[in-house]
Amino acid sequence: MARPVVRVYQEDWWPFQNLPQALRTFTERTGIATELSWDKVGVGSIEAMFEHMVHSFTDHDPPYDLVCTDEVMLRRFAVEGRVLPLDDRMARDGVTLDDVTAETRRVVTVDGAVIGLPCINVCNLLLYRRDLLERYSLPVPQSWDAVKTVGLELQAAVRRDGADDFHAFATRGAGGGGHAVWSIGSFLGAYGGRWLDGERSVAPLSDAHRAALATYLDILHSVAPPDQGSMSFVELMRDYRKGRVGMIVEVGMEYAHLLRDDPELGERSGVAMVPAGPFGRRPNLYAPPWSIPVRSKVKDEAWELARYLVSPAQLFEDGVVSGAVETSSLSVLYSAGFDGAFRADLLSAVRASRAVAFEERPFGRLGMEANVIVGQAVSDAVDRRLGVDEALARIHAGLGALAASA
């Protein structure tokens, strides 16, 4: 009889580059075989990753047994009974959620049942060209309003010195379920708004929604590249590396890789917390846990692998080897070992953000379709196909229809 194989699916991203070695070590120690599939994502390709996740939890014979699953879609699958509850196994093996934030525990719990084991807590931070701000005697923006005012001065100064295609700021602006919807969340939370009231109810449109979207659009239309509406994190990092933009809002994992991969540019760059709005800093949270489809034929083996991958020792190794600074484990994040592994400004911003990182996407039981509704409307507004009120009306109607059918 052939030995069981745990088929693993993960995004092919910088902070996960230690995963193949972790799987080899796990197999050597346990005798449980593994098979890894992963995909790089960006505009036009992130949907393929989402499709693999969908099939893993909806197919009668799932293609994967252990999936690091986007928590928005995972929640919907769990409500439908498609995700293996982990509570009994956790109690048996002494696995707890004591080492993560309260918001992370909320993310991986549905109706009192744990549906996944946390591994990363990714959130938005500000990356900026420190050399340019110092050259022109400009401060690091501390608020969203300051991003525009400082950005206008920075952009004018750099262009005056001959860089015609320089833009002060950029962030994600593309449509779909993983780009503009991610960036607007940090604005919405900072202005006191939410997309949903509870798990299924759509929040009424408010001044907070209008102010958040208007501020986001005003910044992008004033100091961002003209192709902002087609940008994912891939294009953001490309343009920052090329010197086309001077400040970006993106996740700390990307910055950790840049600082290691391009130390010369890293030396000219700085990292800070995401800018604040009237309700403070809301860096958004992405916390996809390792989860097991209920129809997997190797659930016990998948569980053994999941708890191995989220052990503090493994998460620490992932951090040091792959630059996975935004680990879910608080003991690892605040460890002395991380002090020596990451630059002080990056680590300080990640640690400070952990306390105020909350789910700012339409997080509830409406699934990935809710992300797509928000993301596409916001992207259309970035490209000036919709105004603020039109975009918000489309979002509200779309989420309302989705909630009514859920």
Task: Render pLDDT for 98-149 as a digit per residue (tens, 0 to 9).
Answer: 999 999 999 999 999 999 999 999 999 999 999 999 999 999 999 999 999 9
Contact 330, 100 (CB under 8 A): yes
**Reduced DSSP (H G I as helix, E B as strand, rest coil) percent helix, strand, coil of the chain, to 5:** 50, 15, 35
Contact 370, 387 (CB under 8 A): no
Name the CATH architecture for the domain at 5-122+285-354: 3-Layer(aba) Sandwich (3.40)
Name the CATH architecture for the domain at 124-283+366-405: 3-Layer(aba) Sandwich (3.40)
pTM above threshold 0.85: yes
Task: Give DSSP secondary structure letters for 63-83.
Answer: S-SEEE--HHHHHHHHHTT-B
pLDDT for 3: 83
Task: Render pLDDT for 69-106 as a digit per residue (tens, 0 to 9).
Answer: 999 999 999 999 999 999 999 999 999 999 999 999 99
Lowest mean pLDDT among 41-55, 141-155, 220-234, 342-356: 41-55
Cα–Cα distance for residue pair 191/314, rounded to 1 Å: 37
pLDDT for 45: 73
* Mean pLDDT, residues 349-355: 98
Nearest to 145 by CA among 307, 275, 244: 275
Task: Render pLDDT for 8-59 as a digit per residue (tens, 0 to 9).
Answer: 999 999 999 999 999 999 999 999 999 999 988 766 677 888 899 999 999 9
Radius of gyration of the chain (CA): 21
Burial of 83 (0-12, 13-18, 19+ CB in 10 A): buried
Cα–Cα distance for residue pair 400/206, rounded to 1 Å: 15
Share of the chain above pLDDT 70, in %: 99
Query: Is the pLDDT at 222 greater than 60, yes or no?
Result: yes
Per-domain boundaries in the chain: 5-122+285-354, 124-283+366-405
Tokens 């959620």 locate to 97
Domains 5-122+285-354 and 124-283+366-405 share a fold: yes
Contact 362, 196 (CB under 8 A): yes
**Sorting pLDDT into bands at 50, 70 and 90, what band is 1?**
low
pLDDT averaged over every residue in the chain = 96
Cα–Cα distance for residue pair 164/187, rounded to 1 Å: 29
pLDDT for 381: 98
Task: Dig out the tokens for 246 from the structure.
Answer: 């001077």
Query: Is the pLDDT at 207 greater than 60, yes or no?
Result: yes
pLDDT for 259: 98
pLDDT for 360: 94
